[in-house]
Copies of this chain bind each other. A is one copy, B any other.
Amino acid sequence: MKREKLKVKIIPLGGINEIGKNMTAIEFKDDIIVIDCGLKFPEEEMFGIDIVIPDISYLLKNRDKVKGIFFTHGHEDHIGALPYILKQLNVPVYGTKLTLGIVETKLKEHGLLGTTDLRRVKPKDVIKLDSASVEFIKTNHSIADSVAIAIHTPLGVILHTGDFKVDYTPIDGEVIDLPRFAELGKKGVLVMMADSTNVERPGYTMSERIVGDNFENMFAKAKGRVIVATFASNIHRIQQIITVAQKHGRKVAVSGRSMENIVQVATELGYLEMEKDSFISIDNINKYPNDKIVIITTGSQGEPMSALTRMASSEHRKVNIVEGDMVVISATPIPGNEKLVSRIINQLFKKGADVIYEALAYLHVSGHACQEELKLIHTLVRPRFFIPVHGEYRHLKHHAELAVKLGLSQRNVLIPDNGDVIEITRDSIRKNGTVTSGQVFVDGLGVGDVGNIVLRDRKHLSQDGILTVVVTIEKENGAVIAGPDIISRGFVYVRESEDLMEEAKEIVKSVLKECEEKKITDWATMKSNIKDELRIFLYEKTKRKPMILPIIMEI
């Protein structure tokens, strides 16, 4: 009997050809190691959907092998699906201190804190599993406590960078552990997966520190309150705001649920340094002069219910924007959010605030490596095989090209898709089949109960509304006893369309009459005739195609 070659399987379950929903399964012998389990925010056409999570059918089928979920950092697109996954697959969860701190808040909301096996790790820690061991390596990112993950197997090292950048002067002084990357590279890395988000951007991502310098300049100019909107999870950004505020003798208040949560967690865990009494409650901001106040708020993406949006539209109960306020939007709009952000900027200006935003330099820096940083990591690690991850196809393709430019052979680079089973031996990388993967929609309490049919109906309803036709009919002979009644919603302004509705009713009547004459008592045929005739009539009259819902009651 020929001995089977040793191999490792890498199965991306999310994060490929998309931004968000990051999740990767790495399988070696009897171990499945899951890196991250993130959520994705719904696309425009996913009407009514709250969030999207990965399909984990493959993990459920192989649940005995799954040794744990290993987090690279605490962003929603890496941890957000955890509560939903844990309800089906209760495995140990590994993460660094801040990551687990944020995870805990989330588990608390879902009532899962008591039943989850959380295992705190720190950079350089190694977790031994049955056939492999998992090492955590310090990186830099737009959230503190981020790590890369190296999986050591007899076949070689599998390295996943997680989201990362190279920051030589990070706010917490903890520089990405480049020496360890170099060391692994020297010993030999079998395969590397690396963040592709910023591969289209030349040069280097600037250090987070430059944002602080700009805050310094702005705070010096501000004559009233300073309100800074940024991502709640960017602890280093928040630290810089606090530091500058203290320097200028300003008190700091926070607004927005996620900002309050994260600031509390980060403070408890020691990730935020501040003088005593620096923080005040948002309830107390009016007890101080305006030029002694800084408010850190959510809403940098113009999110409809966020604190900044409420301030801009005078719906915030504690903060009323007044002339002299300086509002700093310390973020770049994520693609798709440009209009929301712009709307808020307009509203803030109208209220007399001075609004400082992206057009100005370095109010924000990215958390992802640009081309030169990617080249650095590739050059240090020199993997035998490379799989670009975390990005749309354009990013993956450009990242693959970058690897080839740096000397890797084209056939040692593989652009994956979600669900691909990527088999790697010592000397080969190839796709070998696929597993179930995809997007699971979360809508209210429902997980997966909204599918494409429901979404298609919602889209249809959103375009032209609905027209319900009801008629009561005698079972025996199909004679109309009551109706037809026609009720529409989202179609036309009813009061101005009475004639149209009367005509539509006549059409239904004539269809029913014809059915009666032809002795058609099969409701399905009757309904479909009503639908067809009405659709033609309405399109001719209005060039619209509302959903038509005929309901026949029989007595």
Measuring CB to CB, which residues of chain A are less than 8 angstroms from any residue of chain B? 17, 43-44, 47-48, 200-201, 335-336, 338-339, 342, 345-347, 349-350, 355, 359, 392-394, 397, 443-446, 449-451, 453-455, 457-466, 468, 470, 472, 481-483, 485, 487, 489-493, 496-497, 541-544, 547, 549, 551, 553-555
Residues on B with beta carbons closer than 8 Å to the beta carbon of A482: 472, 553-555
Of chain B, the residue at the smallest CB distance from A468 is B468
Q: B451–A346 contact, CB under 8 A?
A: no
Residues on B with beta carbons closer than 8 Å to the beta carbon of A453: 493
Residues on B with beta carbons closer than 8 Å to the beta carbon of A345: 394
A454 CA / B544 CA spacing, docked (Å): 13
Q: A549–B47 contact, CB under 8 A?
A: no
Given A335-B342, A444-B544, A466-B466, A458–B490 Cβ distance below 8 Å? yes
Residues on B with beta carbons closer than 8 Å to the beta carbon of A460: 490
A86 CA / B470 CA spacing, docked (Å): 41
Given A48-B464, A454-B490, A393–B472 Cβ distance below 8 Å? no
Please report whether the interface of chain A is mostly helix, strand, loop or mixed according to DSSP. Answer: mixed
Q: A555–B349 contact, CB under 8 A?
A: no
Q: B397–A349 contact, CB under 8 A?
A: yes
Nearest-CB distance from A323 to chain B (Å)?
A: 13
Of chain B, the residue at the smallest CB distance from A343 is B392
B464, B489, B541, B553: the one contacting A553 at CB < 8 Å is: B553
Q: A490–B339 contact, CB under 8 A?
A: no
A201 CA / B454 CA spacing, docked (Å): 44
Q: B551–A468 contact, CB under 8 A?
A: yes
A–B Cβ pairs within 8 angstroms, 28 of them:
A44-B44, A335-B338, A335-B342, A345-B394, A346-B392, A349-B397, A444-B542, A445-B542, A446-B492, A449-B492, A449-B496, A450-B492, A451-B493, A454-B490, A455-B490, A457-B489, A458-B461, A459-B462, A461-B466, A468-B468, A470-B470, A470-B551, A472-B472, A472-B553, A485-B553, A487-B549, A489-B549, A555-B555
Number of copies of chain A assembled together: 2
Q: B468–A544 contact, CB under 8 A?
A: no
Of chain B, the residue at the smallest CB distance from A49 is B463
A541 CA / B449 CA spacing, docked (Å): 13
B47, B393, B445: the one contacting A346 at CB < 8 Å is: B393
Residues on B with beta carbons closer than 8 Å to the beta carbon of A446: 492, 542, 544
A554 CA / B497 CA spacing, docked (Å): 24
A490 CA / B393 CA spacing, docked (Å): 31
Q: B454–A349 contact, CB under 8 A?
A: no
Of chain B, the residue at the smallest CB distance from A48 is B463
Q: B458–A342 contact, CB under 8 A?
A: no
Given contacts A346-B393, A445-B541, A472-B472, 18 further A-B contacts (CB under 8 A): A17-B346, A47-B463, A336-B339, A444-B542, A445-B542, A449-B493, A449-B496, A457-B489, A460-B490, A462-B462, A466-B466, A470-B470, A470-B553, A472-B482, A485-B551, A487-B549, A489-B547, A553-B553
A495 CA / B338 CA spacing, docked (Å): 39
A464 CA / B489 CA spacing, docked (Å): 14
A2 CA / B461 CA spacing, docked (Å): 61
A17 CA / B347 CA spacing, docked (Å): 10
B392, B468, B492, B555: the one contacting A549 at CB < 8 Å is: B468
A490 CA / B490 CA spacing, docked (Å): 14
Given A346-B392, A444-B542, A542-B445, A454–B336 Cβ distance below 8 Å? no
Residues on B with beta carbons closer than 8 Å to the beta carbon of A393: 346-347, 349-350
Nearest-CB distance from A540 to chain B (Å)?
A: 9
Residues on B with beta carbons closer than 8 Å to the beta carbon of A491: 454
Nearest-CB distance from A205 to chain B (Å)?
A: 15
A377 CA / B79 CA spacing, docked (Å): 53
Residues on B with beta carbons closer than 8 Å to the beta carbon of A454: 465, 490-493
Of chain B, the residue at the smallest CB distance from A547 is B489
Of chain B, the residue at the smallest CB distance from A486 is B551
Q: A457–B490 contact, CB under 8 A?
A: yes
Nearest-CB distance from A500 to chain B (Å)?
A: 9
Q: B339–A44 contact, CB under 8 A?
A: yes
A443 CA / B541 CA spacing, docked (Å): 12
Nearest-CB distance from A197 to chain B (Å)?
A: 13
Residues on B with beta carbons closer than 8 Å to the beta carbon of A490: 47-48, 454-455, 457-458, 460-461
Nearest-CB distance from A99 to chain B (Å)?
A: 28
Residues on B with beta carbons closer than 8 Å to the beta carbon of A461: 458, 461-462, 465-466, 489-490
B43, B47, B449, B496: the one contacting A462 at CB < 8 Å is: B47
A551 CA / B482 CA spacing, docked (Å): 12
Q: A493–B459 contact, CB under 8 A?
A: no
A335 CA / B482 CA spacing, docked (Å): 52
Q: A497–B449 contact, CB under 8 A?
A: yes
Nearest-CB distance from A167 to chain B (Å)?
A: 23
Given A349-B393, A350-B393, A490-B461, A445–B551 Cβ distance below 8 Å? no
Nearest-CB distance from A31 to chain B (Å)?
A: 33
Residues on B with beta carbons closer than 8 Å to the beta carbon of A444: 542-544
